[in-house]
Amino acid sequence: MEKKEEIFKKISKKGQVEVKKVQEELKKTINNFTPFYGHKRTFGQKAADNLAKWAGSWAFIFFFFVFLGLWISANTYAWIQEWDLYPFILLNLILSCLAAIQAPVILMSQNRAAQRDRLRAENDYKVNRKAEKEIGIMQKQLNKIEKKLFS
C-alpha cells in the first residue's frame, strides 16, 4: 500500500512539473504569435476602427434619422430659407458621398478584424496541437504507471 502512495506522490509532483512546462511552452507560443496585437496602429487604422465602431452603433442610426428629419423638415416647411427643394438632390448627394466614403473604411476595419481572427485561429490551432502531443505523452506515462501498479 505504501508503495502505491509513494508512486502517486511522485506522479503528482512530476505532473505539476509537466503542467508548468506546458504552461511555459504555451506562453512562448502565444508570445510568438502576437506580432499583430503588439504593433502600433497607424492613424488610418485607428480612424477606420473608430469610424466602424461609430457607424455601426445605434447612436449613429438615431443621430442620422434626426439629421434626415431636420433636413427634410427645414426644407419642406421653410423654417429657414430653402436651399434644397423637394426631391432633395443635395441631400441625396451628401448621402451618396457618405456611403461612398464610409463603406471602404468599414471594409478596411473588417479586414483588420479578419486578420486578428485568423491569427487567433492559427494560434489556437498550434496550442491545441501542442496540448494534444503533451496529453499523448502523459497518457503513455499513465499507461506505464498503470502496468507497474497492477502487474
pLDDT for 9-67, tens place per residue?
666 666 666 666 666 766 665 555 444 555 678 888 888 888 888 888 889 889 989 98
In sequence order, what E strands does the chain have?
none
Q: How far apart are CA 51 and CA 45, in angstroms?
A: 10
Q: How far apart are CA 63 and CA 65, in angstroms?
A: 6
Predicted structure pTM score: 0.52
Minimum mean pLDDT range among 7-11, 38-42, 71-75, 147-151? 7-11
Residue 9 has a pLDDT of 64
Mean pLDDT value across residues 72-85: 73
Q: What is the largest CA-CA distance in the chain?
A: 99
